Every structure is written in C-alpha cells, then in structure tokens.
Amino acid sequence: MLSRQKSENPTILQVIQRKDLPPEVRVLKSSGNRALDLLACRQLAVFFGNNPTSETEKYYTVTWEAPAIKKDDGGFK
C-alpha cells in the first residue's frame, strides 16, 4: 500500500520531548498526502521513544521522492 503513495512535497515535523512522557510529533507542514504524514509521525515517535535525546525540541523534513540516480556504465574511461 505505501509503495503506491506519492507526494512531491516534503513533510515538516516538530518533535517535542518531555521528561517521563512519550514524544509528541506535530506536522508543521503537510506533504498533501495524509497517509505519508502519519507514517512520518509514527516513525519519528517510535524512534524517539526508543532513543531519547537531551534536546527538548527538534525539527525534521521528510522528503518522499528520491532523486534519480544515473546508472553507471560499469567502468572508468
């Protein structure tokens, strides 16, 4: 299902960590695709739940379309 989800716009997220509480992840700017925005929120919440940091607030940009990589011809000229 996720492989069919697309968006040309990034999702911008804010992670707020508080002592003894799960991290709060907020969407500051949506990609326009709610499924991808929710995926990004869940992934960051799980990551910070397992890897807490001393910083209380962080911002992240998640891009959904990777740049095209040219195929290498296999050798040097």
Segment 4-22, tens digit of pLDDT: 778 888 999 999 888 888 8
Query: 65 or 15: whose pLDDT is higher?
Result: 15
Q: Is the pLDDT of residue 68 over 70?
A: no
- Dist. CA 13–CA 30, nearest whole Å: 9
Contact at 8 Å (CB) between 62 and 9?
no
pTM score, two decimals? 0.71
Q: Is the pLDDT of residue 43 over 70?
A: yes
Query: What's residue 50's pLDDT?
Result: 86
Contacts of 48 by beta carbon, 8 Å cutoff, 6+ apart: 15, 17, 23, 25
